[in-house]
Every structure is written in structure tokens, then in C-alpha cells.
Structure 1
């Protein structure tokens, strides 16, 4: 009978050691706490003239055509080139996307009213893949051509991502919120001419 107790103890110690190793590897990889975290980013529309509303005056703020000091600032609104509406893939995702051309000729991808889950290693991608509603999003957008515009700044709000001048927009037809760690789309939008 003492042998059985010794074997039982050894099995428990081995199981505990395996559980510690699995936990030590799984927690940083999966980051399950991100299911309960949110990051809100609310960036201004590129090219918009900022308005300060902090004042003791009861008169509403005004925007002048030219600032009183400093270099001349263009007040021309950005040109909308492409638009799309985000749909859900692996995680519930909502919001809109727009590709904007600014007065200086640069281009920006704008996410507006984004609402998705937080997750590890989330990126914003331009992709040549079609957006298929109802598909889970696994291994969809990394099979063809894509361009990583950077890490997702937050899982809620309004955000801007610079599009390099070398990117040909005709080569891409969608935007994906992509989890690079697990090769899955949280949500995506088909880009259409504005």
C-alpha cells in the first residue's frame, strides 16, 4: 500500500508541474484578461482645425480662416476616396472605415466608431481578400497580399493610420482588424469607391 501512495504523490507532483508550465506558457500567449479590457482612442479627423472649448467666456469658440500666428494651415476637408462598413468575423466588430486624401496629398485610413474586442497582437491591414460575411475569419486575409498599417491603437473609438505613398490602393479591396498571433480576423470591411 505505501507504494501506491508514493506513486500517487509522484503523479500529483508531475501533474502540478505540468499545470504550472502550461499556465506559464498559455497566459502570455493567449492573454485571456484582454477579454475584459478596453482601450478607447479618439483621434481627430486629419486636416481638421482643432477648436479649444476651454474658456470662461459664454461666447462659443470660432475658427478663423487663418491662424493669427505660425504657418498657414489648410482648412480644406480631406477627400474621401474609399469607404466601408466593418462586419463581425471572430469577434463582434462594428464601425466604419474610410481612406482619406489630405490637403498635402498624403493618405490616411480612418476607423470611426470602432467597437471590437481587445486582443493580443492586433493589427490594421489593407488586404486583397474578399470580405465574406458569416465566415469565422481564420486564415482569410493572410493568404493573399496585405499591407500592415500598424498595431491597432485601441479597440474603441476613432483612429487614423498613415498609408505609405508607395501603396497602390487598387491592389487592395478590404481592411481587416487582424490578430497576427492567431491568424484570425476580428472584423473586416470591403472598400468601395466613395
Structure 2
């Protein structure tokens, strides 16, 4: 017991202990390893889909009816399947124009790892298989649509009104902390 007390009273031993505790604390904050075992599931409906799921029946009228009006509900402009990059990732991505003219990126049946500082990015980068695709999405033009709401499920991300979706060709689940793609999808126009 006397030897332990003697070691802990030395200034260098206390400094090493403080640095070690600080390094462990910083490492836990930076890497957040507990997220590997935590899943966050988010299930959102597509905005405007509920209003257009059942067509409205017009009231009876003696007036002759004109041609039917075009559908005014959400319309898919482009879609693609997510491929894995840094982490196993699957699901479908859709670029959807809503009835009001706004746009959303919709992730459907998303399944990826949880991680620190995950974002959804709309980009102009090509989607590449394997390690070649891990770091390409921050090389060109991209728009961060916000933090990933959950690593599982279906969710919507609104495009800012000043963003023209025609200038973008892919979506990435991007880890901003480590500058790496967890997974990405090439958007094919429909």
C-alpha cells in the first residue's frame, strides 16, 4: 500500500493519468462506438401521399364534365438503389416532386449502421463501387439535406427551395465526422 501511495504522489504519474483519462474521453466522444449497437428506426409517410391515395368523388352535376385533370399528388422524378461503401447499406432512394412544387429526397427501407454525424447529401458525384466510392461525394457539388433521422426505416428530406434537383445525380449517406460515405445511390430519371 505504501508503494501505491508513493507512485500516485509523483507529479508525472498524476499527469500521465490525467492525459490517459482525457484521451479515453475524447476517443469515446469522437468515435461514439456505442452507436454500433443502437438502431434508430424512423417511419415517415411521404408528404401529400395521404391526400392523393383515394380519389375524390365529385358531387353529381347536370353540367357536362370536362376532361379529367392530371394527377396533382407526389411524382417520382428519379430513383435508385443504395449500395454499400464504408458500412453495409441497403434501401431505395427517390427524388419526389410534391403537389406544391417542392421536392424531397425519400429514403425507403433504409438499413445501414448508425454512426456519428451522419448526413443525407444530394450530390453531382458518380456512384462508384467499393473503396473507390468512399470519398468522392465531397469533391464536387453537394447539398446537405440534414442529419440522418434514423439508420433504419423510411424518411423524407426536403430540398431547399433554391436547389434545382436537375443538377444532382446521386444521394449519399455521408459521415461528416470522418468524411466517408456509408452508402450511396445513383439517381436514374424516370
- TM-score surpassing 0.5? yes
What is the number of residues matched between the two proteins?
174
- Give the match for residue 49 of structure 1: 50
1:103-151 per-residue CA deviation (whole Å, 9 max, x = no partner) reads 1111111000000011111110011111101126543211111001111
**Superposition CA RMSD, Å:** 2.7
Distance across 2 between alignment mates of 1:91 and 1:65: 44
**Quick one: which of 174, 181, 186 aligns to 1:178?**
174
Aligned to 1:114, which of 110, 126, 149? 110
- Report if aligned partners of 2:40, 2:152 keep a CA contact under 8 Å in 1: yes
Please, what TM-score do these two structures have when normalized by structure 2? 0.81
The answer (yes or no) to whether the contact 1:90–1:136 under 8 Å persists in 2 is no
1:84 aligns with 2:85: no
Contact 2:74 2:97 in 1 (8 A): yes
C-alpha contact (below 8 Å) 2:116/2:175 kept by paired residues: yes
C-alpha distance in structure 2 between counterparts of 1:145 and 1:77, whole Å? 29
Secondary structure of 2:116 counterpart: coil
Structure 2 contact 127–133 (Cα < 8 Å) conserved:
no
Whether the aligned pair in 1 keeps the contact of 2:110 and 2:154 (CA below 8 Å) is yes
TM-score normalised by L of structure 1: 0.79
Greater CA deviation, 79-88 or 168-177? Answer: 168-177
CA deviation vs aligned residue, 1:39-63 (integer Å, no higher than 9, x gap) = 000001221227xxxxxxxxxxx95
Structure 1 residue 76, shift from structure 2 partner: 4.1
Structure 1 unaligned residues grouped into runs of 5+ = 51-61, 67-74
Map of 2:136 onto structure 1: 140
- Render the CA deviation track for 1:60-115: whole Å, top value 9, x for unaligned: xx95727xxxxxxxx84311101011000001100000001111111111000000
2-structure distance, mates of 1:173, 1:63:
32
Unaligned 5+ runs, structure 2 = 58-70
Partner of 2:153: 157
1:36: how far off? 0.7
Conserved in 2, the CA contact under 8 Å of 1:40 and 1:157? yes
After superposition, the Cα gap between the structure-2 partners of 1:170 and 1:114, relative to the gap in structure 1 and judged at 3 Å, is: same
Within 5 Å, give how 1:18-33 maps onto structure 2. 18-33=19-34
Match of 1:40 in 2: 41
